[in-house]
Amino acid sequence: MTMAPAGVEAEAQASVRASWRPLPRRRPIRPPRPVFAIRAPLPPAARAVLVALSVLLPLAVWLVLGATGAVDPRYLPPPDKVWRAGVDMAASGQLWTDTGATLQRILYGFGLAVLVSVPLGIAMGSFSAANALLEPLSGLLRYLPAAAFTPLLLIWLGIGENPKIALIFLGTVFFNMLMTADVVRLVPRDFIDVAYTLGARRAEVLGKVIIPHSLPGMLDAIRVNFAAAWNLVVVAELVNSEIGLGKRILLAQRFTQTDRIFAILVVIAVIGVATDVLLRLARNRIGRWV
């Protein structure tokens, strides 16, 4: 096989380069403003304005619809009527009793789910054997709607508080376990290798490397699944319950008391947002490196 002379090859490359079209002239791109830049931190003033708009804009639409009568007040009561309904329920003590009963069920059901799911999730994310044992079953059960277990729970556990707590537990434990396992898997392998190189043992790697690094992500998983616990407790209280916010919504629906329904929804939203903010503050304080 003969090789082409160096001069011929250079001429061929020069002719190819000559056929290339020149790049079009482009104006220098201005950096986008922080509001539109991808993953850019927002100035405090811009963040405050956007947060205020996210709350005030829907409230303004609600006020306009209520003032103009565009929607029948039976279906969308104005904010002042909802406020009066909430004040009346609070003054009678009914609202506090229902809220306390609902919070107690969530604390028991979701608290038990966290106690079970976090250790199992850490095991799944840290050990391949635990993942092979637990992931197929948990992956299957999480696709089953928790509300579908309500008849079985009533048969197995009776009509007291136990089936309500069990429903919240079943609806959140598998999701929180799998999300915790995903967070643990994100711990860089280099951190674990360095810990072993420095002489750390398995328990020390878990306690001083994996768990501290994963803790902020675990709190985020708890934040997400806490909202699911609220959805489930309302479903649980619709069946064989004497008190609770979900039961109060059902009773208000029977008498078309939409103002009471909206007042209860506002209470649920306030409690949920307050819990979410507290968990975020805890996450930011614990995991400042994230």
Residue-wise pLDDT tens digits, 12-58? 666 666 666 676 776 766 666 666 677 778 788 888 888 889 889 99
Residue 2 has pLDDT above 60, yes or no: no
Task: Please name which of 276, 156, 226 lies closest in space to residue 164, comparing C-alpha atoms.
Answer: 156
Residue 4 has pLDDT above 70, yes or no: no
Task: Please name which of 227, 213, 208 lies closest in space to residue 279, comparing C-alpha atoms.
Answer: 227
Question: Are residues 208 and 200 in contact, defined by beta-carbon separation less than 8 angstroms?
Answer: yes
State what percent of residues in the chain have pLDDT above 70: 87
Please work out, in degrees rounded to the nearest 5, the angle formed at the alpha carbon of residue 279 by the alpha carbons of 187 and 224.
70
Residue 3 has pLDDT above 70, yes or no: no
Distance, in Å, from the CA atom of 2 to the CA atom of 10, rounded to the nearest integer, reads: 17
Average confidence (pLDDT) over 105-124: 96
More confident residue, 64 or 169: 169
State what percent of residues in the chain have pLDDT above 90: 56
Q: Within 13 Å and on the Cβ side, how many CA atoms surround 182?
A: 11
Residue found by looking up tokens 């079209």 in the block:
21
Distance, in Å, from the CA atom of 189 to the CA atom of 195, rounded to the nearest integer, reads: 10
Architecture of domain 71-286: Orthogonal Bundle (1.10)
User: What is the reported pLDDT for 274?
Assistant: 94
Q: Which tens digits make up the pLDDT trace of 65-94?
A: 877 878 888 888 999 999 999 999 999 999
Mention every residue, 6+ apart, whose C-beta is less than 8 A from residue 138.
Answer: 174, 177, 178
Amino acid symbol at 230: W
Average confidence (pLDDT) over 130-148: 89
Domains of the chain, residue spans: 71-286
Average confidence (pLDDT) over 206-234: 93
More confident residue, 273 or 10: 273
Average confidence (pLDDT) over 115-128: 96
User: What is the reported pLDDT for 132?
Assistant: 94
Residue 114 has pLDDT above 90, yes or no: yes
Residue 194 has pLDDT above 60, yes or no: yes
Amino acid symbol at 24: P
User: What is the reported pLDDT for 275?
Assistant: 93
- Kindly report the average pLDDT of the chain as a whole number: 87
Q: Within 13 Å and on the Cβ side, how many CA atoms surround 156?
A: 11
Residue 188 has pLDDT above 70, yes or no: yes
**What ranges in the chain are assigned the alpha helix state H?**
6-19, 44-68, 79-92, 94-126, 128-141, 150-157, 162-185, 189-197, 202-205, 211-237, 245-254, 258-286
Residue found by looking up tokens 């947002």 in the block:
273
User: What is the reported pLDDT for 174?
Assistant: 95
Residue 210 has pLDDT above 90, yes or no: yes
Give burial (CB, 10 Å; 0-12/13-18/19+) of 270.
exposed
Two tokens, residue 26: 């482009």
Average confidence (pLDDT) over 277-287: 87
User: What is the reported pLDDT for 14?
Assistant: 67
Question: Are residues 79 and 260 in contact, defined by beta-carbon separation less than 8 angstroms?
Answer: no
Question: Are residues 166 and 229 in contact, defined by beta-carbon separation less than 8 angstroms?
Answer: no
